């Protein structure tokens, strides 16, 4: 069980979860009886707010639509030493929360991800399974390491993580941003397998496989451009340079034989492409210096906050 001196906050973002939020609150109340449970409603059109309040949760509202906006608000508003975040749809096993918290404390980690293990066929759609594996593989290739389940909404954070996380995403891509934040700052993190069940009757998923999948992919590429500018712009520099070399080879052969350049526009195009390649390369180098400085500032801010082994907040 978690040490009593640590204040624990359970954060439950939700939208139209009238059918599931009471069971979710009750589950975390039983698992973490000393924790403060917050339900952040995102403009639900049903009775989510009333049901959550009746279940004993502290209910707050975020008017800007999108899970990313809710996460930003939760992390900014709530003060605690340990944060347990889960969805309000009763799909995550609340009974595992003490184990997640214990791992965070015992190993002095900054984040523990509840890796989903699903038994029910309708708990996790095939498209979501494939998308999760694909995006996880992309993240591993782009950033060198990854998590088993980067889209899991069941996570435990230290205060140091929460208060150093910029939370710039708007929608379901926020889990990707959280994962990249941990990877970029080389935070100590862990994973614990947890059961993932089907939604209760009356609760519907708000995740669109293709729409949200494309947004998540764009987020990964956007973060890669920001965090790995040398590799990102270097790829385009290499591509432009190769095209320039390929179209200039016939010109070089003709010039070597005759001393003439018969296709002058092609020569201009090859020269322009090579100049663009050089510009892309040096752009990547310059931005890498900027990113390094920004990463150092973020790292220093992160280190300025007490870790899980530090004194608790009051």
User: Could you tell me whether strands 82-85 and 58-61 are parallel, antiparallel, or unpaired per DSSP bridges?
Assistant: unpaired
CA gap 35, 26 in Å, rounded: 12
Local structure of 197: helix, strand or coil: coil
User: Could you tell me whether strands 82-85 and 8-14 are parallel, antiparallel, or unpaired per DSSP bridges?
Assistant: parallel
Among 178, 171, 124, smallest CA distance to 146 is for 178
The region of weakest confidence among 4-13, 15-24, 201-210 is: 201-210
Cβ count near 160 (within 10 Å)? 21
CATH number, domain 8-227: 3.90.550.10
HSE, side-chain direction, 13 A CA sphere, residue 181: 21
Instruction: Provide the whole-model pTM.
Output: 0.78
CA gap 295, 184 in Å, rounded: 8
So where are the chain's domains? 8-227, 229-303
pLDDT tens for 289-305 read 998 888 888 888 888 88
pLDDT tens for 252-275 read 888 788 877 777 888 899 999 999
pLDDT tens for 54-99 read 999 999 999 898 888 999 999 999 999 999 999 988 889 999 999 9
CA gap 161, 271 in Å, rounded: 48
pLDDT score at 204? 60
CA gap 51, 74 in Å, rounded: 20
Dihedral over Cα of 141, 146, 152, 158: its sign: negative
pLDDT score at 311? 54
């Amino acid at each position: 069980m978690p040490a009593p001196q640590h204040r624990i906050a359970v954060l439950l973002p939700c939208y139209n979860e009238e059918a599931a939020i009471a069971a979710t609150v009750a589950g975390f109340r039983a698992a973490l009886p000393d924790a403060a449970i917050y339900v952040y409603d995102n403009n639900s059109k049903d009775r989510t707010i009333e049901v959550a309040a009746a279940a004993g949760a502290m209910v707050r509202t975020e008017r800007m639509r999108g899970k990313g906006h809710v996460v930003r608000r939760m992390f900014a508003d709530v003060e605690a030493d340990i944060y347990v975040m889960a969805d309000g749809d009763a799909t995550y096993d609340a009974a595992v929360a003490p184990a997640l918290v214990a791992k965070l404390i015992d190993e002095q980690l900054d984040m523990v991800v509840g890796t989903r293990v699903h038994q029910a066929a309708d708990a996790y759609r095939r498209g979501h399974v494939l998308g999760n594996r694909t995006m996880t593989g992309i993240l591993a290739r782009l950033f060198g390491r990854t998590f088993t389940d980067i889209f899991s909404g069941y996570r435990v954070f230290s205060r140091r993580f929460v208060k150093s996380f910029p939370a710039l995403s708007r929608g379901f891509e926020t889990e990707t941003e959280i994962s990249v934040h941990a990877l970029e700052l080389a935070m100590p993190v862990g994973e614990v397998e947890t059961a993932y069940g089907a939604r209760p009757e009356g609760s519907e998923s708000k995740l669109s496989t293709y729409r949200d999948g494309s947004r998540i992919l764009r987020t990964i590429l956007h973060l890669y451009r920001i965090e790995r500018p040398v590799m990102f712009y270097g790829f385009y520099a290499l591509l432009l340079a190769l095209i320039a070399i390929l179209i200039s080879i016939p010109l070089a052969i003709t010039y070597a034989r005759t001393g003439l350049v018969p296709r002058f526009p092609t020569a201009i195009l090859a020269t322009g492409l090579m100049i663009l390649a050089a510009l892309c390369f040096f752009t990547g180098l310059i931005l890498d210096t900027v990113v390094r400085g920004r990463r150092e500032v973020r790292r220093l801010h992160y280190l300025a906050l007490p870790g899980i082994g530090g004194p608790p907040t009051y």
